[in-house]
Amino acid sequence: MAVKTFAAIDVGSFEISMKIFQVSRKGMKEIDHIRHEIDMGTETYTTGKLSYERVEELCRVLCEFSEIMKTYQVCDYKAYGTSAIREAENTAILLNQIEVRTGIHIDVLSNSEQRFLDYKSIAFQGEGFLKIIENGTAIVDIGGGSIQISLFDKDTLVSTQNMRLGVLRLQERLNHLNASLSQYDNLIEELVDSQLQVYKKLYLREREIKNIIVVDDYISVMLRKKSDNHEMTGYAGKELFDHFEKAYHTKSVSQLAQSWDMPEENMPMAHISVMMLKRIMETMGAELIWAPGVTLCDGIAYEYAEKNKMITASHDFEQDIIACAKNISKRYRGSRKRSETLEQIALTIFDSTKKIHGLGKRERLLLQLSTILHDCGKYISMTNLGECSYSIIMSTEVIGLSHREREIVANVVKYNHLEFDYYEEMGLHSSLDKNAYLVVAKLTAILRLANGLDRSHKQKFKNVRTSLKDNELVITVDTNEDITLEKGLFDGRAAFFQEVFNVRPVIRQKRVIGG
Amino acid sequence: MSEIDYKDPGYYTNRELSWVLFDKRVLSEAKDKQNPLFERLKFLSITASNLDEFFMVRVASLKDMVNAGYEKPDIAGMTPRQQLSALNEATHELVKEQYAVYNRTLLPLLLQNGLRVIGKHEKLTEKEAEYVDQYYEENVYPVLTPMAVDSSRPFPLIRNKSLNIGALVKKKGGDGELEFATVQVPSVLPRIVQIPSEDEGETAVILLEEVIERNIEKLFLNYDIVCSYPFRIMRNADFSLEEDEAEDLLKEIEKQLKMRQWGQAIRLEVEEGIDKRLIGIIKKELSIGDEDIYRIDGPLDLTFLMKMYGLPGFDHLKEKGYASPQPVPELPEGCDIFEQIRKGDVLLHHPYETFTPVVDFIRQAARDKDVLAIKQTLYRVSGNSPIIAALAQAAENGKQVSVLVELKARFDEENNIVWAKMLEKAGCHVIYGLVGLKTHSKITLVVRREEDGIRRYVHLGTGNYNDATAKLYTDIGLLTCSESIGEDATAVFNMLSGYSEPLGWNKLSLAPLWLKDRFLYLIDREKKNAAAGREGHIIAKVNSLCDKDIIQALYEAGAAGVKIELIVRGICCLKTGLPGIGKNITVRSIVGNFLEHCRIFYFANDGKPEYYCASADWMPRNLERRVEIMFPVEKPALREKLIHILSMQMKDTVKAHVLLPNGRYQKVDKRGKEIINAQQEFCKEAVRAAKQKDEVVSNRVFIPETHHE
């Protein structure tokens, strides 16, 4: 039986950690978890760079990690850097330096990618997860730099929002204010509430949230240690806060650290986490907390195992992404009907032209998202539809979509309306690589074609079939309506398609007898 | 009931005084007629070496405190000064008892059994004297360095723990002024000088200092010898402070560094009847007080008795009732240890069962192609240790070997550095201990890559990885490949390598962070059960019990009705028969042929009993300033083994002493009880078990077929 060992490395803002996993078709098993505390966040958040000493320390630990990997005969590894690396001004130089010195290649995760990995590792918890999301649930992912709140509607994740309320950041702000411990509670409440109220008004609205899944470094540790009852390990209700507050007001910091079994220096951040979660819970009216105790490393490993087809999740993440997109479209008053027609036509074209575009399932999803979001910019300006849609998509996080994928979708939507910019012209304005650019071109061509077929926005084409014959893409439409407008505009749309694929699209109208 | 405040220092015994009682229990073995004569010599010798160490470590430390003006009272409410004065009385009494045993009991018995110890050179026969003088000329004289003191030659440095002969001398033809002279009894020569005996079947011996004394005038040819007597001093020098002492003491002493008198003499032993003028000079030069002078009725430094034990021809006077370490039935010689462990956890009980499987565990791991890594903590190892050799070999075979070597192990520092360097050369990753903590835990982790993935094999023990002491100390070891213990073991080594603590532990409890709380929790749980009318029962076997929090918790549990049976070999600051507790807490101490060393804990837990073994005693230094590990024993068969060990020790009527409410220890009242010597029983059982296993193998009888179709 094939048993592989895999190492997941998380270069976080106050800790570098590595988990060694054994991966086989039977599943994943954690073998080792090594953590080294190193505060990189404070430096990058304040100065934009990591100091010489920090880089030295980082490299030393990574070298040790590399030795440990050798011991376990690790076949593969993945190392990700998060906000401390991401927000450094000289990320590229830094990462290259690290790779040359330690041989470890670190990729940088965008916020939404990072949260998605956390989310993935929660979803892979199986039973516990499926059960809890039966009721309204929010995932509260508390990091050093920011927190992320994602909401479930029934069993799909529908929205996600990032707030710069990370524990390290808050602590820094409190330090800056020279706050005394007794002022902590009020100050945290003020800092958190101002953002939470906005969040509630804009995103939460009437949604009923019963459960909170928390991902963090402090509350999870406490919840997972304290329980004697194994079945309830990781679960808590609102009494947690009373318990904590009472302890906080009657015990010294060192006593607290002892009773929560935590290093004393972690107590301020634990305190901030608890206060923040309390405010979030009260704002949402939630009753149950679940701390699955997952870390980013788990997510990295699940991603790896999934990619290598060693495990499959019981949760459909694509449905989450589509639901999120639909939610955005709804927010900006997009036309659902038109989206659906467009989606249907575009996907039909996509599916019948596989041979010539060579794209896969994931790109199909991107096309689908583009159709859903194709008109979101209309909400702001009907004239600058392309630019506005692009901006909206680029600044709205969709959990499960990488930054690159989001940029592809935004570009496809943009070029659906605007003149296409060739790669050679895009130049420095875009961070897209050549492959991504080609995906943009191909998906744009398909979307434009589909858009052309529904120019009047009247959904005249109920039934569209396409077939590839020689150098022609024959699009057969069943309709008795007058399609002069569509036919007239079609050539312009078709030209770009032809340019991209070297295949000429032609429309054939098939009148429905007796229709 | 709960009005009694068990924090009251009156409810606790001073640890040093309790230690003296322990040494007295060892002494009682020297008195015990049931023991073969030569074993009694050995026990007496042990009391002497114990006492030497006690002075160097504990008394020295108390002197430091007094010098530093440190006044903080101990667990029993005594200031260092009070402790010193109480100790003085106790140790003087102990020494008196030692020599009473030596002179009145052992010497006559030795004579009866054909060993004549010539106490005074004056008692030598002419022929013997002739032999001795010749021996002196040939062997002793060349290595002696006599030193005289006068106005031009200052008082010489008398080395710590060395035996010397002091003399008053007068210059021949001088003005009759007395001078001091001294000569060290050379430690390179054997202390016991055997003399050819005139009687057949009799062995005669004399001690080296007597030989020198007899010939002392030959050392100071220009002088007349007025008198000469042996003396021995112990100094407070070269010893870093004990970890037992509180941090604030260290600071106090640092502040008053000048106050610490390095090299100060803390004990002076002299022969009884020593010339007043002679002792006056020594006293003055060493600036030592009367209370620190021990006038000895017999030879100084009884540790020579260990050498006497080794004299040939007396095997019939030595202990033979204890079998040598037996093979472990689950781990027969030459077996694949990993395979055996996969079949089930193995609990080893040393020295009844041999330590070899533990050495083999590491040896096999070193050679096994599937082993990826070996990690181990080492505290004290034997010279020429097979474990060290195996670890070095493993590194040479390309395994990742990490070893934590505790350099701070008392009296072993130099020894440890030598082999640590050797391991490093072989390619092992060596960690030289942790800052501010002694690593006392005994744990080995072997990571092996098997067909179905990584499997971890762990050895956890209560004793050091020392194949020599494993023949003398009683210890428990567990070999397991349980996943949850494997995970914890990995986490232990991650922590020892300087990484953050794990997010949680499955089975193990570690000092100094978690273990004490765990103990307090377990004791408290029994208390709550008893208070609620359920059964509360604790059995704990430790070497020492002197942690105040633990004792207080035990008192409170006992007061709530928990039955607490303690088996404490050495120091015990807990008292029995306290108001509100009565007979709920009992303490017994077993001092026998083997040194009781394993720590075993049993908690009834309302019908779901829990068993643990640990590397830690119930002492503040174990729980607060050392890395220690406690592990549960969960397999029913292994629990049976532990329960048996505990119950046999509770039933021991031969080597057990019981702590009385008056603070004294007394041998168990044997009346109406079966005579049980637990250590001896364990030996017999181990022999039986090993034999049974053998029989199973050799009883392969062929079964003939009786039918033929």
Least confident interval from A310-324, B24-38, B439-453: A310-324
Strand, coil or helix: what is B479?
A: strand
**Is B499–A5 a contact, with Cβ atoms under 8 angstroms apart?**
no
The band of B36, judged by pLDDT with boundaries at 50, 70 and 90, is very high
Is the backbone peptide bond immediately before B512 cis, with ω within 30 degrees of 0?
yes
Q: What angle do CA A337, A338, A342 make, to 5 degrees?
A: 120
Residue of A29, A31, A221 to mutate for B, most B C-beta atoms under 10 A: A31
Asked whether the beta carbons of B629 and B619 are under 8 A apart, the reply is no
Strand, coil or helix: what is B498?
A: coil
Residue of A4, A20, A33, A264 to mutate for B, most B C-beta atoms under 10 A: A33
Last residue of a domain, one of B468, B484, B506: B506
Which pair of tokens denotes residue B231? 């003396």
B466 with B533, same domain: the answer is no
The per-residue pLDDT for A456 is 63
E strand residue ranges, B300-361:
346-350
The per-residue pLDDT for A460 is 65
> Does residue B373 belong to the interface with chain A, where contact is any CB pair within 8 Å?
yes
Which string of DSSP letters, residue by residue, matches A199-255? HIIIIITT----EEEEE-SSHHHHHHHH-SSGGGTTEE-THHHHHHHHHHHHS-HHH
Residue among B515, B537, B521, B464 nearest B619 (CA): B515
Could you tell me if residue B327 is inside a domain?
A: no
Asked whether the beta carbons of B473 and B442 are under 8 A apart, the reply is no
Whose structure tokens read 């630990």? A61
Q: Provide the domain limits for residue B560.
A: 510-694
Helix crossing, A239-250 with A267-284: angle to 10°?
140
Confidence check: pLDDT of B415 > 50 = yes
Q: What is the pLDDT of residues B128-154, one digit of tens each?
A: 899 999 999 999 999 988 888 776 777
The per-residue pLDDT for A112 is 82
Q: What is the pLDDT of residues B42-80, one digit of tens each?
A: 999 999 999 998 998 889 888 888 887 888 899 999 999
Which pair of tokens denotes residue A278? 């309390």
Whose structure tokens read 């639909």? A326
**Is B494–A221 a contact, with Cβ atoms under 8 angstroms apart?**
no
Which residues of chain B does A22 touch, with a Cβ-Cβ cutoff of 8 Å?
A: 453-454
Select from A33, A71, A263 the Cβ nearest to the Cβ of B400.
A71
Asked whether the beta carbons of B405 and B430 are under 8 A apart, the reply is yes
Select from B487, B490, B500 the Cβ nearest to the Cβ of A35.
B500
Query: Residue A236, Cβ neighbours under 10 Å: how many?
Result: 22
Asked whether the beta carbons of A117 and A299 are under 8 A apart, the reply is yes
Which residues of chain B does A29 touch, with a Cβ-Cβ cutoff of 8 Å?
A: 453
Q: How many domains does chain B have?
A: 3
Residue of A23, A261, A266 to mutate for B, most B C-beta atoms under 10 A: A261
Average pLDDT, chain B: 88
Which residues of chain B does A234 touch, with a Cβ-Cβ cutoff of 8 Å?
A: none
B416 with B273, same domain: the answer is no
The per-residue pLDDT for A64 is 94
**Is B372–A32 a contact, with Cβ atoms under 8 angstroms apart?**
no
Query: Residue A51, Cβ neighbours under 10 Å: how many?
Result: 12
Q: For the whole prediction, is pTM greater than 0.80?
A: yes
Last residue of a domain, one of B484, B506, B528: B506
Which residues of chain A does B501 touch, with a Cβ-Cβ cutoff of 8 Å?
A: 263
Which residues of chain B does A261 touch, with a Cβ-Cβ cutoff of 8 Å?
A: 514
| Segment B468-483 mean pLDDT | 93
Provide the residue count of chain A: 515
Cβ neighbours of residue B536 under 8 Å, at least 6 residues apart?
A: B526, B527, B529, B530, B557, B560, B561, B562, B563, B604
Select from A37, A71, A258 the Cβ nearest to the Cβ of B373.
A71
Residue B287 sits in a domain of what CATH number? 3.30.1840.10
Q: How far apart are CA B637 and CA B403, in angstroms?
A: 32
> Does residue A1 belong to the interface with chain B, where contact is any CB pair within 8 Å?
yes
B289 with B423, same domain: the answer is no
B443 with B547, same domain: the answer is no
B581 with B689, same domain: the answer is yes
Burial class (CB in 10 A: 0-12, 13-18, 19+), B501: middle
Which residues of chain A does B624 touch, with a Cβ-Cβ cutoff of 8 Å?
A: none
Select from B400, B494, B504 the Cβ nearest to the Cβ of A225.
B504
Question: Taking CA atoms, what residue in A is nearest to B490?
Answer: A32
> Does residue A352 belong to the interface with chain B, where contact is any CB pair within 8 Å?
no
Could you tell me if residue B2 is inside a domain?
A: no
Please tell me the distance in Å from B97's CA to the nearest CA on chain A.
Answer: 48
Residue type, B542: V
**Is B452–A32 a contact, with Cβ atoms under 8 angstroms apart?**
no
**Is A67–B491 a contact, with Cβ atoms under 8 angstroms apart?**
no
The band of B254, judged by pLDDT with boundaries at 50, 70 and 90, is low
**H-helix or E-strand spanning residue A381:** none
Please tell me the distance in Å from A265's CA to the nearest CA on chain B.
Answer: 13
Q: How far apart are CA B271 and CA B275, in angstroms?
A: 9
**Is B454–A36 a contact, with Cβ atoms under 8 angstroms apart?**
no
Strand, coil or helix: what is B473?
A: strand
Q: What is the pLDDT of residues B656-703, one digit of tens each?
A: 999 999 999 999 888 888 899 999 999 999 999 888 876 655 555 666
> Does residue A29 belong to the interface with chain B, where contact is any CB pair within 8 Å?
yes
Asked whether the beta carbons of A289 and A240 are under 8 A apart, the reply is yes
B252 with B115, same domain: the answer is yes
Residue B153 bridge partners (DSSP) = B150
Asked whether the beta carbons of B248 and B232 are under 8 A apart, the reply is no
Q: How far apart are CA B112 and CA B117, in angstroms?
A: 11
**Is A225–B452 a contact, with Cβ atoms under 8 angstroms apart?**
no
| Segment B644-664 mean pLDDT | 94
The per-residue pLDDT for B212 is 93
| Segment B642-649 mean pLDDT | 95
The per-residue pLDDT for A221 is 83
Strand, coil or helix: what is A287?
A: coil
Could you tell me if residue B324 is inside a domain?
A: no
Q: How far apart are CA B654 and CA B35, in angstroms?
A: 11
Q: What is the pLDDT of residues B81-135, one digit of tens each?
A: 999 999 999 999 999 999 999 999 999 999 999 999 998 888 888 888 999 999 9
B479 with B514, same domain: the answer is no
The band of B22, judged by pLDDT with boundaries at 50, 70 and 90, is very high
Higher pLDDT, B196 or A515: B196
Q: Is the dihedral of CA B633, B638, B643, B649 positive or negative?
A: negative
Residue B586 sits in a domain of what CATH number? 3.30.870.10
Strand, coil or helix: what is A260?
A: coil
**Is A31–B454 a contact, with Cβ atoms under 8 angstroms apart?**
yes
The per-residue pLDDT for A430 is 66
Whose structure tokens read 């048993």? A3
Last residue of a domain, one of B506, B540, B556: B506
Q: What is the pLDDT of residues B226-250, one digit of tens each?
A: 999 999 998 875 445 554 554 555 5
B387 with B521, same domain: the answer is no
Q: How far apart are CA A76 and CA A69, in angstroms?
A: 9
Burial class (CB in 10 A: 0-12, 13-18, 19+), B574: buried
Domains of chain A as residue ranges with CATH: 4-110 (3.30.420.40), 126-293 (3.30.420.150), 318-510 (1.10.3210.10)
Least confident interval from B24-33, B266-275, B434-443: B434-443
B240 with B185, same domain: the answer is yes
**Is B503–A5 a contact, with Cβ atoms under 8 angstroms apart?**
no
Could you tell me if residue B705 is inside a domain?
A: no
Phi-psi region of A15 (alpha: psi -120 to 50; beta: other; left: phi over 0): beta
**Is A37–B517 a contact, with Cβ atoms under 8 angstroms apart?**
no
Q: How far apart are CA B167 and CA B148, in angstroms?
A: 9
B467 with B363, same domain: the answer is yes
Q: How far apart are CA B570 and CA B590, in angstroms?
A: 9
Catalytic positions of B, please? 440
Asked whether the beta carbons of B449 and A73 are under 8 A apart, the reply is yes
Q: What is the pLDDT of residues B568-619, one digit of tens each?
A: 999 999 999 999 999 999 999 999 999 999 999 999 999 999 999 999 999 9
Please tell me the distance in Å from B495's CA to the nearest CA on chain A.
Answer: 9
Q: How far apart are CA B528 and CA B561, in angstroms?
A: 10
Q: How far apart are CA B665 and CA B29, in angstroms?
A: 13
Cβ neighbours of residue B97 under 8 Å, at least 6 residues apart?
A: B24, B27
Residue type, B446: V
Q: How far apart are CA B78 and CA B13, in angstroms?
A: 10
Each residue's pLDDT, cut to its tens digit, for chain A (515 residues) gives 578 899 999 998 888 999 999 988 777 889 999 999 998 888 888 888 888 889 999 999 999 999 999 999 999 999 999 888 888 888 889 999 999 999 999 999 888 888 888 888 888 887 788 888 888 899 999 988 889 998 888 778 888 888 888 888 888 888 888 777 777 788 888 888 888 888 888 888 778 888 999 998 888 888 877 555 556 678 888 888 888 888 877 877 777 777 777 777 788 888 889 889 999 998 888 899 998 888 899 999 988 888 888 877 777 888 888 888 888 888 888 888 888 888 888 898 899 888 888 888 899 999 999 999 988 988 888 888 888 999 999 988 888 888 889 999 999 999 888 888 877 776 556 677 888 888 999 999 999 888 887 766 666 666 778 888 878 888 888 777 777 777 777 777 788 888 888 888 888 877 766 54
Could you tell me if residue B206 is inside a domain?
A: yes
**Is B454–A72 a contact, with Cβ atoms under 8 angstroms apart?**
yes
Could you tell me if residue B330 is inside a domain?
A: no
**Is A31–B490 a contact, with Cβ atoms under 8 angstroms apart?**
yes
Which residues of chain A does B401 touch, with a Cβ-Cβ cutoff of 8 Å?
A: none
Q: How far apart are CA B287 and CA B282, in angstroms?
A: 8
Which residues of chain B does A34 touch, with a Cβ-Cβ cutoff of 8 Å?
A: 494, 499
A-contacting residues in B 222-261 (Cβ below 8 Å): none
Confidence check: pLDDT of B251 > 80 = no
Least confident interval from A170-184, B27-41, B379-393, B473-487: A170-184
A-contacting residues in B 482-511 (Cβ below 8 Å): 487, 490-491, 494, 498-504
> Does residue B449 belong to the interface with chain A, where contact is any CB pair within 8 Å?
yes
Could you tell me if residue B260 is inside a domain?
A: yes
Confidence check: pLDDT of B261 > 50 = no
B308 with B166, same domain: the answer is yes
Is the backbone peptide bond immediately before B156 cis, with ω within 30 degrees of 0?
no
Whose structure tokens read 């199973």? B696
Q: Going by DSSP bridges, is the β-strand pair B656-659/A15-24 parallel, antiparallel, or unpaired?
A: unpaired
Distance of alpha carbon B31 from the chain centroid? 20
Please tell me the distance in Å from B573's CA to the nearest CA on chain A.
Answer: 27
Could you tell me if residue B326 is inside a domain?
A: no
Measure Cα distances from B504 to A173, A224, A226, B93, B329 in Å: 31, 8, 10, 51, 35
B572 with B634, same domain: the answer is yes
Please tell me the distance in Å from A196's CA to the nearest CA on chain B.
Answer: 30
The band of B257, judged by pLDDT with boundaries at 50, 70 and 90, is very low
Q: How far apart are CA B324 and CA B684, in angstroms?
A: 10
